[in-house]
Amino acid sequence: MPQLKLTSKRQVTFSKEACEALRVLPGDTIEMEPRILDGKKVYILNPKTAERPWLGFLDGKIKKVDDHSMEAIRESIATGRKQTGE
């Protein structure tokens, strides 16, 4: 079951599973709607997705890489310069 962790500053850390279940990303807001269920006060979490007009802008323009070594970075820069004629 997804869990939340409260920090000493009363901030909440959402687990990866909780974020995926709520379909939220950094910058999104989650509203807490109070309800009474079986005589107990509970909260319904309602995700409010932030507008992302830039979403998809770089789709297909960025190659996903797993190697972040300096050699791989230099090779990527060299490849980009060749493609742009620098």
pLDDT (tens digit per residue) in 3-23: 788 899 999 888 888 888 888
pLDDT for residue 58 = 67
In the chain, % of residues over pLDDT 90 = 31
Q: pLDDT category, 44, cuts 50, 70, 90?
A: very high
Rounded to 5°, the CA angle 51-56-58 comes to 125
pLDDT at 52 over 70: no
Q: Where are the domains of the chain?
A: 4-48
Are 48 and 33 a contacting pair, CB within 8 Å? no
Closest to 17 (Cα-Cα) out of 29, 30, 6, 4 = 4
Q: Is residue 43 helix, strand or coil?
A: strand
Predicted local distance difference test score (pLDDT) of residue 55: 61
